[in-house]
Amino acid sequence: MQITPAILPQSYTELNEKINLLRGLSSSVQIDLCDGVFGKTKTWLPDEEKIYLPQGFDYEFDVMMFSWKIYIPICISLGARRIVVHVDNFTEEECYRLLSYFENTNIKLGISVSNDTSIEEHIKYIRFFSEKNKNIYVQVMGIRNIGAQGEFFDEECLLRIKEIKKNFGDVVVQVDGSMNIDTVRKVKDSGAEIAVVGSYLFGHEDIDTRLNSLKEV
């Protein structure tokens, strides 16, 4: 199982400290960007000033914000390899606007829809984007409150994974939220290829042991 550590940073300093804790343990990192409204926890946000992230990592940004149009270009400028966008209630115009940012790039676009939206809506969005961009993947939320850590696992996400793989078998599915040994095993058995893990890793001294145990699932 591929494991991507996730950081919900309260400051630029905290972000760098946690990234460096992963050196030699993981080559990929997800950085959560939340506005405190769409993404329930307000995080540190990159501004127009030039900042630098530690080298040697593949960066994924999870943009949980109503002002995604501002921050996607910033994520691209920071060297993002992957960007997750939560497309709940996007209009057709907004969907095309989102696609335009990824034209002529090798950046992978992650499509995420919250668990309080029907699976039919998930499939509708995935079909739309997959027909227009062959470099997409899907992020299923393992929790209902987007942008929060330490939430309870939403068992319904397992059915969403199965339905998505049934309809889009070649699309990679990752799960974000409430990931630990037990839930990683559940999402893997349901068809997911990647688990995004935050609070289970950080805040514990045995990050390396925990990360390796998850990879072995």
pLDDT digits (tens, 9 = 90+) for 68-123: 999 999 999 999 999 999 998 899 999 999 999 999 999 999 999 888 889 999 99
Instruction: Name every residue whose Cβ is closer than 8 Å to that of residue 122 and which is 6 or more positions away in sequence.
Output: 113, 160, 163, 164
The percentage of residues in the chain with a pLDDT greater than 70, rounded to a whole number, is 97
Q: How far is CA 45 from CA 88, 140, 179, in A?
A: 21, 23, 24
The confidence score (pLDDT) of residue 204 equals 85
pLDDT digits (tens, 9 = 90+) for 36-57: 998 888 999 998 667 889 999 9
Question: Residue 56's CB: how many other CB atoms inside 10 A?
Answer: 11
pLDDT digits (tens, 9 = 90+) for 155-169: 999 999 999 999 999
53-62, 78-87, 176-185, 201-210: segment of lowest average pLDDT: 201-210
The confidence score (pLDDT) of residue 149 equals 63
For residues 122-144, average pLDDT: 95
pTM > 0.85: yes or no: yes
Say how far apart CA 114 and CA 25 lie, in whole Å.
Answer: 30
Q: Residue 10 above 70 pLDDT?
A: yes
The confidence score (pLDDT) of residue 12 equals 94
DSSP states along 135-179: TEEEEEESSSSTT-SSPPP-TTHHHHHHHHHHH-TTS-EEEESS-
DSSP 146: T
Say how far apart CA 62 and CA 69 lie, in whole Å.
Answer: 13
What does pLDDT average to over the chain?
A: 94
CATH number of the domain to which 17 belongs: 3.20.20.70
Residue 10 lies in domain: 2-215
Instruction: Name every residue whose Cβ is closer than 8 Å to that of residue 4 and which is 6 or more positions away in sequence.
Output: 26, 28, 29, 30, 60, 174, 194, 195, 196, 197
The percentage of residues in the chain with a pLDDT greater than 90, rounded to a whole number, is 86
Return the residue matching tokens 């688990």: 195
Task: Look at phi and psi of residue 216 and say left if phi exceeds 0, alpha if psi is from -120 to 50, else beta.
Answer: alpha
The confidence score (pLDDT) of residue 116 equals 87
3-state helix, strand, coil in the chain (%, to 5): 35, 20, 45
Give the chain's domain count. 1
Q: Dihedrals φ, ψ of 25, to 5°?
A: -110, -35
DSSP states along 59-85: EEEEEE-TTHHHHHHHHHHTT-SEEEE
